[in-house]
Every structure is written in structure tokens, then in C-alpha cells.
């Protein structure tokens, strides 16, 4: 086969891709672990989906390649259904084969014959793949390239050699009705060797009693030479009452001398376990044939293994990637039927406008809602004037939801599936870093602030201008003065790296000072707020100065802790609720 031996639907053929892996904490902070479980209930499939989503590359060509493949599979449910049926068959044969055997068991002739039939199935699969992927509605370069890849396998010399071998070397096992065995005897009529004469597509028919008796006699009935002129009768050996084939042979006078021979005793008689009956004769007979056809079996085994590496493995290796796309396609089709808006993302090179999201929402939040009308959608951009957002707003006003939502836009888009937005154009991230509050048990040794500082330093060391950093109430576990001091230096340092960042915090002064942070930097920090509408949470984002004082007043009024309300004992909104 020319070109690459391996093919992937995750990146263009011939492309060298460098991946960075999401930290497990980031995967969890974004809610991707929950999303994997929503997409499929099958643990193995969840692992496949998680593995793909966790590995990011900043190459926009890879994102667009995946997006196009996904669109084809999502928009062509009939093609998708054919592929599922086809790949189920391929995966079953790859994992289990036609006959199960232990790891160290030698493949006998019967097993090899069944393997030949198994390879015939793969020829059928390749033909079906060619037909399925020849659909004129397929537009993506990925599926077109995979079709060309299948054509390469189909036209490859080895594949045609396999087809020829199958035609010349095997018949369907259903056609094999009998085997003719020859036995050489010594002067004492003891068996000295055995050999196969023919494999036949018709069973032997029982001859008459007189003919059987005549054939049992010696003398002038002994035929000269070993050539058979077709004049041969068949003496049928019936099973004994206990169903033991070995009992028949042991009690049959004709086989007395043969049974005395060690080779025959081991291979023909004693090896047949009492009680197995005639139904298991091929399995025991396989041992005899292996001894007689050892060299032939080894060569056949070697040839089949060569084909296995060449054809079967290369086709089957792409199945998990198809599973990834197909499961997401089925899942997102269901969401769209409920009314949730999902769109194809467009990836662009980094530089200038590096994100333009219109009408986006948090995908994880959407999965917990039954009505899409409950969602609040927002618009947001990243560009040279808006590199770092300092997001402030009321407690439980949607800051964390919006921060997580942006991260999910990147993760899903770079995974190649549709995103929760009206439109989404972006420069892919080489990695996503999250700095969310850690679990208590992880902060016992260093203290929460010390743990936060160490984690931020690690993120800052790894991040680049292609990265995305999401910070949630970072440095808020100490006094305002100390937290503000550390946060200021952190924001200034991030501006030097031109790293896209959303920093949601209750320290409103950071938002007020955003312009001051940007004075000596080519990148700019901006204040982003969750708007308050008459004291109610709107969950709407807006680039504007913080509304800290009004939030405090609204919260104080709601819970009755203004001086006037405390002194007069007025009923509060909270009391009414």
C-alpha cells in the first residue's frame, strides 16, 4: 500500500500533529466527564470519547477536518446506520474470531479453515465500505480520503492475492462432508503411518452387508497398487449404546492391531474421551491432521497472519473514531429535536480576532434542562483589545457558568462536534487550563492560598499565546488586600504572554483597574460583568465597569440587613419567598 499505513479520521492524512493533554482536574472542571456519560452509557465508548476530547492541538486544519467529518455523519443517518452495522461485524471478528481458542493453543486445520471463511467476511466488508462511502452526498475530505484509503486496500496486490488464495485453497466448511484417510501397515498389520487422501464434498454411503463382508476378507481381494479407480466401499462404524466413539474402535476387531501402535493409540483411539460421541469427532480428528499436515498448517498460518496485519487491523483501527463521531451525532440530534441550538464551528489561525461566539450557552447546564427557553445566551469575543476578561457580578449570578461555558466551546469545537451557540469562530487552543477551587483534602499541607499559588505558577509556566486559561475565584481565600496584591501581579504576567483568559472574581477592584493593568502591554485586560436588572440576576454578560456597590445593596435589601430594615424589622424579599 502506498502512503501511510495508518489512517485517522481525527487529522488529515500526512499531517504531523502535536497534542497537549488536559489535566484531569481541567477535564472535571469543564464537566467533560459528565458529558461523556451523557453521550453514551457504554464505559468503553466513554473512554474513547474522553481520550479524544482530552487531547488538544492548536492546528485549525485539524479542527475543520473533524468538523466536516462530523457534519457528514450527522447529516447522513442512513450512511451512519450502515457503518454501525458493518463495524459491529468487523469488531466482532477482530476481537473474537470464528472459533475461540486459548492464547497458547496451536491453530489446527479446522480452525484455519474457519479463518479462511473469516477472511472472506472481511472481503465482503471492504466491498461494503467501498459502496457505503461512495455516496455522492459525502462532502468531507476526511471521509473522501478514507474512501481512497479503502480503495488502496482493495487494489493492493496482497489483497487480490488473498482473494485468489481464498478461491483456490478453500471451500465453505458446509461443503466438507467427509475426509478420506490412508493407512500404511507393516507385516503384522500394525499401522506405521497415516495420510490424508482427499477432502470430499459428499459423505460416504453405507455399503451392503455382503459387500462389507467381502471387503473384510484378504487374499485375492487385496488390490495391487494405491491408485483408486473409484471401486471402494464404505464400512460404517456405528456408535455404541453409551455414545462413546472410542468404545466402538476399541471393541472393533479390525482395529486391534492398530490400537496396539503407540502413535495410533495416542492420536486415534485413546484421545477420544468417553461420552463425547460422534459430534466431537472433528475436534479430535483435528489433532490427527495436525500431525500429518504440520508443515502445511504452519505455512497457511503464516500466510493468514500476514493478511491479518495488512487488511483487518488497518480497517478496524478506525472503528473507535467512527464510534466517537456517531455517538455524538446521535446525541446531538436528540438535543436539536428538543430545540437546543447547536452549530458547526469554524477554526481560524491565531492572530487578530481569536474568538467570536454569538448566542452561546453552557452545554453542561443545557443537559440538566428540559426546555431550551430556560437558557440565557451571550456573545463574547477575544481580540487584542480583549485578551483577559476580569469577570465580576453577584454571587450565584452565572460567573462560573459563563466561564465554564467558554471552555466547553473550545473543547467541543476542537473535538470536532457541534457547539452550543448560534455561531462560533475561533483560533483553537493548544491547551485549556483551569484554576478552580481545589478540594479541601488537597490543601491541608500548604493551606488553600499556598496551593492556589503553586497551581497558578504551574499554569503560567506551561501556557502560551495559543492557550486558554479559566480562573474561578482565584486568590480569594485570604484577605482582600493580600488576594488583590497577588491577583494584580498574576494578571500583569498573563498579559505579557498574550494568553486568552477569563478571571471571574468577587474582587471588583480588579475590574476597575483593568485599564491600568494594560498600560504597558500589547495585550489588553477588560472588565466583564454579569448585568443586574433591578437587583435580579440576568445572567447576561456585558463589557462594562463592575457594579459592585449596587450588587451589595441589592443583596443587603433582599436579606434585610440594611440598617433601616434591621432597625424597623421590615419584611424582606427573602421572607416573602
Q: What is the pTM of this model?
A: 0.73
Whether 463 and 481 map to the same domain: the answer is yes
Q: What is the mean pLDDT of residues 91-108?
A: 48
Q: Report the chain's mean pLDDT, rounded to a whole number.
A: 77
Distance in angstroms (rounded) separating the CA atoms of residues 315 and 415: 22
pLDDT tens sequence across 482-532: 889 999 999 999 999 999 999 999 889 999 999 999 888 889 999 999 987
In a domain? residue 134: no
pLDDT tens sequence across 272-325: 334 444 444 454 455 555 555 555 556 666 666 665 555 566 677 888 999 999
User: Is the distance from CB of 507 to CB of 494 less than 8 angstroms?
Assistant: no
Whether 397 and 350 map to the same domain: the answer is yes
pLDDT tens sequence across 365-393: 999 998 999 999 999 999 999 999 999 98
In a domain? residue 301: no
Q: Describe the strand order of the beta sheet including 423-426 as a list of residue ranges.
A: 346-347, 423-426, 355-360, 378-382
Print the domain residue range for 252.
174-207+233-293
Whether 431 and 554 map to the same domain: the answer is no
CA angle 334, 338, 342 (to 5 degrees): 70
Distance in angstroms (rounded) separating the CA atoms of residues 364 and 30: 8
Distance in angstroms (rounded) separating the CA atoms of residues 16 and 6: 13
User: Is the distance from CB of 52 to CB of 324 less than 8 angstroms?
Assistant: yes
CATH of the domain at 428: 3.40.50.300
Whether 258 and 346 map to the same domain: the answer is no
Question: Which region among 100-109, 389-398, 527-536 has the lowest average model confidence (pLDDT)?
Answer: 100-109
The residues near 233 (Cβ < 8 Å, ≥ 6 apart) are 207, 211, 212, 215
* Cβ neighbours, 10 Å, residue 523: 20
Whether 439 and 574 map to the same domain: the answer is no
In a domain? residue 15: no
**pLDDT computed for residue 276 by the predictor:** 44
What is the CB-side half-sphere exposure of residue 226 using CA atoms within 13 A? Answer: 7
Whether 271 and 387 map to the same domain: the answer is no
In a domain? residue 212: no
In a domain? residue 289: yes
User: Is the distance from CB of 425 to CB of 360 less than 8 angstroms?
Assistant: no
Question: Which region among 114-128, 209-223, 477-491 has the lowest average model confidence (pLDDT)?
Answer: 209-223
In a domain? residue 577: yes
Distance in angstroms (rounded) separating the CA atoms of residues 58 and 49: 19
Whether 451 and 556 map to the same domain: the answer is no
Is the pLDDT at 2 greater than 50? The verdict is: no
Distance in angstroms (rounded) separating the CA atoms of residues 469 and 318: 32
| Number of domains comprising the chain | 3
Distance in angstroms (rounded) separating the CA atoms of residues 363 and 366: 5
Whether 364 and 416 map to the same domain: the answer is yes
Q: What cell does 490 get?
A: 498574576
Whether 354 and 441 map to the same domain: the answer is yes
Whether 414 and 462 map to the same domain: the answer is yes
Amino acid at each position: 500500500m502506498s502512503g501511510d499505513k495508518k489512517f485517522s479520521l481525527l487529522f488529515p492524512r500526512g499531517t504531523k500533529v502535536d497534542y497537549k493533554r488536559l489535566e484531569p482536574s481541567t477535564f472535571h472542571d469543564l464537566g467533560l466527564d459528565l458529558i461523556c456519560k451523557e453521550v453514551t452509557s457504554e464505559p468503553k465508548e466513554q473512554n474513547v470519547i474522553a481520550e479524544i476530547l482530552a487531547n488538544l492541538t492548536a492546528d485549525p486544519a485539524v479542527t475543520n477536518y473533524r468538523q466536516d467529518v462530523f457534519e457528514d455523519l450527522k447529516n447522513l443517518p442512513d450512511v451512519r446506520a450502515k457503518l454501525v452495522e458493518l463495524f459491529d461485524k468487523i469488531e466482532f471478528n477482530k476481537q473474537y474470531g470464528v472459533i475461540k481458542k486459548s492464547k497458547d493453543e496451536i491453530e489446527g486445520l479446522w480452525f484455519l479453515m474457519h479463518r479462511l471463511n473469516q477472511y472472506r467476511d472481511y472481503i465482503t466488508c471492504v466491498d461494503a465500505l467501498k459502496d457505503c462511502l461512495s455516496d455522492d452526498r459525502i462532502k468531507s475530505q476526511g471521509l473522501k480520503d478514507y474512501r481512497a484509503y479503502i480503495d488502496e486496500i482493495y487494489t493492493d496486490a496482497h489483497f487480490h492475492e488473498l482473494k485468489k488464495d481464498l478461491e483456490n485453497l478453500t471451500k465453505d466448511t458446509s461443503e466438507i462432508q467427509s475426509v478420506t484417510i490412508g493407512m500404511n501397515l507393516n507385516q503384522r498389520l500394525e499401522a506405521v503411518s497415516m495420510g490424508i487422501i482427499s477432502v470430499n464434498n459428499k459423505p460416504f454411503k453405507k455399503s451392503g452387508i455382503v459387500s462389507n463382508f467381502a471387503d473384510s476378507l484378504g487374499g485375492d481381494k487385496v488390490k495391487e497398487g494405491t491408485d483408486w479407480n473409484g471401486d471402494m466401499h464404505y464400512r460404517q462404524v456405528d456408535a455404541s449404546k453409551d455414545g462413546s466413539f472410542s468404545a466402538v474402535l476399541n471393541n472393533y476387531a479390525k482395529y486391534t492391531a492398530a490400537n496396539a501402535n503407540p502413535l495410533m493409540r495416542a492420536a486415534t483411539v485413546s484421545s477420544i474421551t468417553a461420552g463425547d460421541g460422534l459430534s466431537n469427532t472433528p475436534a479430535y480428528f483435528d489433532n490427527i491432521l495436525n500431525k500429518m499436515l504440520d508443515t502445511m498448517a504452519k505455512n497457511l498460518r503464516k500466510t493468514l497472519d500476514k493478511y491479518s496485519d495488512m487488511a483487518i487491523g488497518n480497517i478496524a483501527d478506525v472503528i473507535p473514531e467512527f464510534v466517537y463521531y456517531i455517538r455524538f451525532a446521535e446525541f446531538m440530534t436528540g438535543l436539536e429535536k428538543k430545540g437546543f441550538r447547536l452549530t458547526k464551528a469554524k477554526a481560524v489561525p491565531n492572530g487578530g480576532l481569536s474568538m467570536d461566539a454569538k448566542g452561546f450557552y453552557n452545554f453542561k447546564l443545557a443537559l440538566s434542562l428540559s426546555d431550551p427557553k430556560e437558557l440565557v445566551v451571550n456573545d463574547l469575543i477575544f481580540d487584542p483589545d480583549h485578551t483577559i476578561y476580569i469577570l465580576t457580578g453577584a454571587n450565584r449570578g452565572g460567573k462560573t457558568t459563563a466561564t465554564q461555558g467558554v471552555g466547553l466551546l473550545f473543547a467541543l469545537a476542537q473535538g470536532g462536534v457541534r457547539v452550543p451557540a448560534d455561531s462560533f469562530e475561533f483560533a483553537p487552543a493548544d491547551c485549556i487550563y483551569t484554576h478552580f477551587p481545589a478540594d479541601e483534602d488537597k490543601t491541608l499541607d500548604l493551606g488553600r492560598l499556598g496551593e492556589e499559588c503553586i497551581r497558578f505558577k504551574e499554569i503560567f509556566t506551561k501556557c502560551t499565546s495559543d492557550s486558554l486559561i479559566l480562573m474561578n475565584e482565584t486568590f480569594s481565600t485570604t484577605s482582600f488586600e493580600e488576594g488583590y496584591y497577588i491577583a494584580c501581579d498574576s494578571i500583569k504576567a498573563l498579559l505579557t504572554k498574550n494568553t486568552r483568559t477569563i478571571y471571574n472574581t468577587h474582587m471588583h477592584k480588579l475590574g476597575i483597574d483593568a485599564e491600568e493593568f494594560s498600560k504597558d502591554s500589547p495585550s489588553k485586560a477588560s472588565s466583564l460583568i454579569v448585568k443586574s436588572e433591578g437587583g435580579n440576576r440576568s445572567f447576561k454578560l456585558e463589557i462594562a465597569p463592575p457594579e459592585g456597590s449596587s450588587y451589595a445593596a441589592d443583596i443587603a435589601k433582599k436579606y434585610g440587613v440594611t440598617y433601616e430594615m434591621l432597625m424597623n424589622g421590615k419584611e424582606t424579599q427573602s421572607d416573602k419567598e
